[in-house]
């Protein structure tokens, strides 16, 4: 590629961070959020979306149990939902629905950041 065709530009980005009581949410506080499920139903039930969740956005954080988390509000409480299906079996109906939820969250929700 001809170097004369390339140039550098300065861009401005905007990020959204989770705050709690006006302070940055830390990883420690994030880990204290109650866990919930984006897809509900027992092993013998037909899986369905958890319609009590009001989505806030998603967080990428690997705590050994998941890398992508939905942050949502349910019944006035902030919760986190693991969007990886490793613990429910990759070929199960619940896992397939969770795959759709994950794709929808990534396409339609904003990424949120927590303080390291």
> Is the entire prediction scored with pTM above 0.85?
no
- Hey, is 100 helix, strand or coil? helix
User: Are residues 52 and 79 in contact, defined by beta-carbon separation less than 8 angstroms?
Assistant: no
Backbone phi, then psi, for 66, in 5-degree steps? 165, 155
- Using an 8 Å Cβ cutoff, are 36 and 101 in contact? no
CA dihedral 74, 79, 83, 88 (to 10 degrees): -90
pLDDT in tens, 58-116: 999 987 766 899 999 999 999 999 998 665 666 778 888 888 999 999 999 999 998 87
């Amino acid at each position: 590629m001809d170097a004369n065709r390339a140039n550098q530009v300065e861009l401005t980005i905007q990020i959204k961070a989770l705050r709690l009581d006006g302070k940055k949410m830390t990883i420690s506080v994030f880990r204290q959020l109650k866990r919930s499920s984006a897809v509900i139903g027992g092993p013998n039930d037909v899986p369905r979306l958890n319609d009590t969740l009001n989505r806030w956005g998603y967080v990428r954080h690997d705590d050994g149990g998941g890398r992508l988390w939905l942050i949502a509000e349910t019944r006035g409480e902030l919760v986190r939902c693991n969007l990886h299906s490793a613990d429910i079996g990759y070929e199960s109906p619940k896992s397939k629905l969770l795959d759709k939820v994950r794709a929808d969250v990534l396409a339609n929700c904003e990424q949120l950041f927590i303080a390291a």
